[in-house]
Chain A
Amino acid sequence: MQKFDEMYAMLPFDGSDVREHYKRYGQWLARQSADAMQARRAEAEMIFRRVGITFAVYGAKDESGAGSERLIPFDLIPRIIPEHEWTQVQRGLVQRVTALNRFIHDLYHGQDILRAGVVPSDLVLNNAQYRPEMVGVQVPRNIYAHIAGIDIVRAADARGDGVYYVLEDNLRVPSGVSYMLENRKMMMRLFPELFSAHAVAPVAHYPDLLLETLRASAPPTVAAPTVVVLTPGMHNSAYFEHAFLAQQMGVELLEGQDLVVKDRFVYMRTTRGLRRVDVIYRRVDDDFLDPQVFRRNSTLGCAGLMDAYRAGNVGICNAVGTGVADDKSVYPYVPEMIRFYLGEEPILQNVPTWMCRKPDDLRHVLAHLPELVVKEVHGAGGYGMLIGPAATQAEITDFRRALLANPAGYIAQPTLSLSTCPTYVDSGIAPRHIDLRPFVLSGRDVQMVAGGLTRVALQEGSLVVNSSQGGGTKDTWVLGQEGEETC
């Protein structure tokens, strides 16, 4: 299989053939002693721990019974994307997220795309993530996925060039943006000289864009909307991020118990009584939002919230019911959506996907299991998937059985050789597989900061970058070409 490394045109790297956009960084890196870089790594870890940039691991408990907090490993070598490539990716993201929002709005209103037969009705209407409660509900600006995390990977094509593919759309409560911001802060702290020598596009204004997006999602009658962040609480794996974003935006961080609905309006309980809430940036899944409508025993949301929402008295971001559009069974249809709603050709490609619900596709998948990646359509976080080339015979046999029992529950894709980026490992610097999650904001406009979160699979050969599975992160640079200084 063709390999593609972001920094070196040839692997294994021997110091030559550094790609153009990595040249200056490569020269700098060559001048750094191993000891100095090791000291920086230790410093980074110490700072992350002191700042408390941690995530909780589900099921793991420390000896005192509290959930354990872990650091996400941070790698010092940035992933660099040249500006011209990013411009193209960004255009593709705006196009894709625009189409996805049109799609969700359509599903809960006219269902044109189903009637046109472009997307099979049963795929949508029988999907657990399809929320009948949302049918006919008007949401501000017809936007549902205000914050979208689109996972992008890169792999070599036949000529050995790197091609960007969308691997997955995350339209519910995508997380990770705080690491993008903290990684940049850390890099600027550790290596200020690099930033004076490179024209790195800034990312620190993300919270401002987010607040702008959220305010644009308020009920139209509210002049100065009160925005809040709703978290499941400090034991949630992404709690740090919830607290971080609330603080960066200067808004309150709420738990379900802080909310109350009266006469179809939402209020928070404050030291001076009840206060109106206009927009909720919720980091709680649909199922837990309102015990009157969804899970009855949930204490993470607030009774009556859906009622207030449907009455148009509060904005919820992301909207309820977006999960139907980021399901892996719907993913193969996104290019068709783009053509259907926008009349354009997709700028970003999908990974070729076999839908096991189709008999022909299923036959192909069963015949090629050891070569394919098979995913549960409702799975997330790197769980419930088979990576054929890395699987044992027993795992393949188990998966074959599961697949035959419920073909519609799976899709399969070729095992892409994800691009690699030089990364610090125990033995020194080695190539490790990476992906990219840009965060796309849809409010008045569709906008984003340059780059996103780069995740890296630290195990040699591993393709799984999820933090819950031992992945790490890197700073992501979108690099302009104007910088003429030398370092």
Chain B
Amino acid sequence: MLSRTADHLFWMSRYTERAENTARMLNVSYETSLLPQSTAVAQEGWLGLLSISELIPAYTAKHGEVAPAKVLEFMVCDGNNPSSILSCLRAARENARAVRGALTTEVWETQNQTWLELARQLEGGAFERDPAQFFEWVKYRSHLSRGVTLGTMLQDEAFHFLRLGTFLERADNTARLLDVKFHAVESDFFGRASERNQEKDFYHWSAILRSVSAFEVYRKVYRDVITPGRVADLLILRRDMPRSLHASLREVVDNLAMVANGQSAETQRCAGRLLADLQYGRIDEILATGLHAYLTQFLDRVNDLGGGISRDFLVAAAD
């Protein structure tokens, strides 16, 4: 297929996934903010959220002080913030429109409908009235987009580039979420956990789990109290947890193999090696070397994979 077409497909699904993950994180932050907590703790939560997308400078330049309503507005409907849900869904739709012929009618109409409905939601004030409902809607549209892709697209190159985009973005987003949320409690992470307010801990960790739809999963897998180590294990190493780094990388590797060409061997090797690290890694080793360092390195490697995919497939072939 055309390199440009592959590029648009890849980014269409990346932006859709990014919008979903942003909605997930915002929803959890919003729900957490409804719990009784000190101003300082609340402030910290919102700052953490902005730092996941590396947006603290951009936000501060525009709004100054961190205020929950302002952060939500900045992350949802600010068309000048490239990471806002509005910007992500617009980019997804523009990419889809550029290659609508490579999509099934259902996939295109789903993307287009999402964009048209988003305008209605934001203009009609649906978001301000009920943020939680709005975030549910964003998640739902993303589920629909993925589902209609799986349910209608021929499993050719176009399909695999769509899937590549989804899972590369998911690996990135889950890693960022973990990094920021663990960072928030890092000083207390080992040894002193018992001194911490257990109730606050419970909400902190359960919020992370819920943001990736893993709360019930956790209960089912561990049948025990929530501990940071297990949360990390579930979201990094569990192969059967659909939003874990391991599961995401597995999909990246498989889809990459389906589109392999004469120059993609090195990118495949890097992806395979990253997957192997997750397959054969142990959570105690990862925690011992430091989660932040581990995730930083992981994000770098995912970023390199994105660069490799772009170089091997998406940038126009040499003249």
Contacts and interface: CB of A to CB of B under 8 A. Distances in A.
A161 to B, nearest CB: 44
A78 to B, nearest CB: 24
Interface stretch (B93-101, B185-193, B269-277): B93-101
Contact of B2 (A49, A243, A258): A258
Interface string A262-276: 100000111111100
B201 interface: no
A234 B113 CA distance: 18
A274 B250 CA distance: 30
A300 B192 CA distance: 64
Interface stretch (A163-171, A247-255, A444-452, A469-477): A247-255
B98 A234 contact: yes
A36 interface: no
Contact of B317 (A243, A246, A253, A270): A270
Interface string A252-294: 1111011010100000111111100000000000000000000
Interface string B256-294: 000101100000000000000000000000000000000
Given A271-B313, A272-B261, A52 B90 contact: no
Contacts of B112: 50-52
A100 B213 CA distance: 66
B316 interface: yes
Contact of A270 (B1, B98, B99, B100): B1
Interface in B49-104: 79, 90, 94, 97-102
B4 interface: yes
A271 B261 contact: yes
Nearest to B117: A50
B6 interface: yes
A272 B317 CA distance: 8
A345 B4 CA distance: 50
B157 interface: yes
| Overall SS of chain A's interface | mixed
Contact of B101 (A50, A66, A247): A247
Q: Specify which of B6, B98, B161, B317 lies most central, judged by the most chain A CB atoms within 10 Å of its CB.
A: B317
Contacts of B206: none
Interface in A50-76: 50-52, 64, 66
Contacts of A51: 105, 109, 112
Given A49-B116, A64-B79, A273-B261, A260 B319 contact: yes
B198 to A, nearest CB: 47
A233 B6 CA distance: 16
A52 B108 contact: yes
Contacts of B100: 52, 243, 247
A233 B100 CA distance: 12
B109 A254 contact: no
Nearest to B97: A234
Interface residues on B, range: 20 to 34
A274 B5 CA distance: 14
B116 A50 contact: yes
Interface string B110-142: 001100100000000000000000000000000
Given A234-B97, A253-B101, A268 B90 contact: no
Nearest to A250: B101
A55 to B, nearest CB: 13
B79 A268 contact: no
Contacts of A272: 261-262
A244 B103 CA distance: 11
Contact of B3 (A66, A233, A271): A271
B2 A252 contact: yes
Given A64-B79, A258-B316, A270-B3, A52 B261 contact: no
B5 to A, nearest CB: 7
Given A257-B316, A258-B316, A52 B2 contact: no
B317 A269 contact: yes
Interface residues on A, range: 20 to 34
A142 B207 CA distance: 71
Nearest to B3: A269
B3 A258 contact: yes
B265 to A, nearest CB: 14
Interface string A25-54: 000000000000000000000000111100
A271 B157 contact: yes
A243 B96 CA distance: 11
Contacts of B161: 271
Contacts of B262: 272-273
Q: Specify which of B2, B98, B262 lies most central, judged by the most chain A CB atoms within 10 Å of its CB.
A: B2
Q: Specify which of A66, A255, A271 lies most central, judged by the most chain B CB atoms within 10 Å of its CB.
A: A271
Contact of B4 (A49, A66, A244, A258): A258
B80 to A, nearest CB: 10
A23 B4 CA distance: 52
B259 A271 contact: yes
A271 B10 CA distance: 12
Contacts of A49: 116
Nearest to B315: A269
A246 B2 contact: no
Contacts of A268: 2
A51 B109 CA distance: 6
Interface string B231-244: 00000000000000
Interface in B1-25: 1-6
A474 B261 CA distance: 48
B5 A252 contact: yes
A254 B108 contact: no
A254 B101 CA distance: 11
Contacts of A271: 1-3, 6, 157, 161, 259, 261, 313-314
A151 B162 CA distance: 42
A269 B113 contact: no
Interface string A380-412: 000000000000000000000000000000000
A243 B261 contact: no
B58 to A, nearest CB: 18
A270 B3 CA distance: 5
A50 B262 CA distance: 40
Contact of A52 (B3, B5, B97): B97
B220 to A, nearest CB: 39
A353 to B, nearest CB: 40
Contacts of B4: 255, 257-258, 269
10 contacts: A51-B105, A52-B97, A66-B94, A234-B97, A243-B101, A260-B317, A260-B319, A269-B4, A271-B161, A272-B262
Interface of A: 49-52, 64, 66, 233-234, 243-244, 246-247, 252-255, 257-258, 260, 262, 268-274
Q: 8 smallest A-B Cβ distances: which pairs?
A: A247-B101, A269-B316, A269-B317, A271-B313, A243-B101, A246-B101, A52-B112, A243-B100
